[in-house]
Amino acid sequence: MGQFQYPTPPLAIYPEDVIAHHRSYIARRRKLRPSEEYRDLTPDEWNEFITHFELRKVALGVCTRDYGTPCVHEHACVRCPALRPDPDQRDRLEEITANLQARIEEAQARGCRGEVAGLEATLAAAQGKLKTMRELLQRHGPTHLGMPNFGPSAGRRM
Ligand code: SF4
């Protein structure tokens, strides 16, 4: 009869192990990269980095285009998929939507069908972003749990 062997216990992963492995991985990767990439930033580079993020703030929210890239959509943020709408700007976007509707009616009355098509595309995009703003507000709004009823536990009847 062979001797009983206890099964090997599973390895415990502690946060320190994970951190140590991550650090050694980063150190190994850094040795493979040119050291020039790990120098300190110059004040001009840091300033340019900060300025890029300041320029992302637009009237209806935040522009999410890639770092270091210019706006390729001619700042037509209402129609742009790179705009992350800010729910606090809902009133502003509702005003823009009402204005677009008035301009569509005017263009229709003047028979400018090309203008109508462009404005309708912008209106559809604006309505889509309004919907997103409402959804964001609902998601981050307060959750009403109702009033707690301590009557039964206090021995009271309703
Ligand atoms: S149009 Fe698009 S890419 Fe350009 S600033 Fe507005 S959100 Fe950014």
Closest CA to 85 of 125, 52, 119: 125
| pLDDT, tens digit, 9 for 90 and up, residues 72-100 | 888 999 999 999 999 999 999 999 999 99
In a domain, 99, yes or no: yes
- Under DSSP, the state recorded for 57 is E
Does residue 76 lie in a domain region?
A: yes
Range of the domain at 132: 44-140
Q: Which of 54, 72, 77 to mutate to test the pocket of ligand 1 (most atoms within 8 A of CB)?
A: 77
The answer as to whether 50 is a domain residue is yes
The secondary structure element, H or E, covering residue 62 is strand 61-63
Q: Which helix (H) or strand (E) holds 58?
A: strand 57-58
- State whether the beta carbon of 130 lies less than 6 angstroms from ligand 1: no
Q: How far is it, in rounded angstroms, from Cα 64 to Cα 77?
A: 11
pLDDT (0 to 100) of residue 43 = 92
Instruction: Tell me the C-alpha to C-alpha distance, in Å, between residue 72 and each of 19, 84, 122.
Output: 41, 16, 17
In a domain, 79, yes or no: yes
Q: Decide whether any atom of ligand 1 lies within 6 Å of the 73 Cβ.
A: yes
Cα 73 to ligand 1 centroid, rounded to whole Å = 6
Q: Whose CA is nearest to atom 5 of ligand 1?
A: 75
Answer whether residue 6 is part of any domain.
no
The residue among 135, 53, 121, 120 whose CA lies nearest residue 90 is 135
Domain contains 145: no
- Could you give the number of structural domains in the chain? 1
Residue 114 located in a structural domain: yes
Question: Which residues, including other chains, have CB under 8 Å from residue 80's CB and lie 6 or more apart?
Answer: 63, 73
Whether 72 is covered by a domain: the verdict is yes
Residue with tokens 């502003």: 92
Edge to edge, the sheet with strand 57-58 lists 57-58, 61-63, 83-85
**Residue 60 CA, ligand 1 centroid: distance in Å:** 10
Q: What is the DSSP string of 97-148?
A: HHHHHHHHHHHHHTT-HHHHHHHHHHHHHHHHHHHHHHHHHHHHS-------
For residue range 40-72, list pLDDT tens digits in order: 889 999 998 888 888 889 999 999 998 888 888
pTM: 0.63
